[in-house]
A = this chain, B = another copy of it.
Amino acid sequence: MREGTDPTALSIYLPVVNELGQVEEHLHRIAKEGVGDLAGMLEYVVGTGGKRVRPAITLLASRFYAKDYTLPVIMATAVELLHVATLIHDDTVDNSSLRRGKATVGSLWGRNAAVLLGDYVFATSATFVCDTENVRAIRRFSETIMDLSSGELLEYCNTYNWQQREEDYCDRIYRKTASLFSTAAETGALLSGAPEPAVQALKDYGRHIGMAFQIVDDILDVLGSTDEIGKPVGHDLLQGVLTLPTIRLIERYPDDNPVRALFQEGNTNGYLDAALEMIRNSGIVEECYGVVRDYCIKASQDLETLEDGPARKPLADLASYVMERTR
Contacts and interface: CB of A to CB of B under 8 A. Distances in A.
A126 B138 CA distance: 9
Contact of A152 (B89, B116, B143): B116
A165 to B, nearest CB: 12
A53 interface: no
A133 B139 CA distance: 9
A156 interface: yes
A34 B157 CA distance: 13
Given A93-B116, A130-B142, 5 more contacts: A92-B115, A113-B157, A115-B115, A116-B149, A130-B139
Given A123-B149, A127-B143, A130-B142, A37 B157 contact: yes
Contacts of A34: 150
Interface of A: 34-38, 89, 92-93, 112-113, 115-120, 122-124, 126-127, 129-130, 133, 135, 138-139, 142-143, 145-146, 148-150, 152-154, 156-157, 171
A113 to B, nearest CB: 6
Given A115-B92, A138-B135, A149 B120 contact: yes
B154 A35 contact: yes
Copies of this protein, total: 2
Contacts of A118: 115, 119
A36 B150 CA distance: 9
A154 B116 CA distance: 9
A173 to B, nearest CB: 14
A22 to B, nearest CB: 21
A130 B126 contact: no
B126 A142 contact: yes
**Nearest 8 A/B pairs, CB to CB:** A123-B145, A119-B149, A127-B142, A130-B139, A120-B149, A116-B153, A123-B146, A126-B142
Contact of A113 (B89, B122, B153): B153
A208 to B, nearest CB: 22
A37 B139 contact: no
Nearest to A139: B130
Contact of A115 (B89, B135, B150): B89
27 contacts: A36-B154, A36-B157, A37-B154, A37-B157, A38-B153, A38-B154, A89-B115, A93-B115, A93-B116, A113-B156, A115-B115, A116-B152, A119-B152, A119-B153, A120-B149, A120-B150, A120-B153, A122-B122, A122-B145, A126-B126, A126-B145, A127-B139, A127-B142, A129-B142, A130-B139, A135-B138, A138-B138
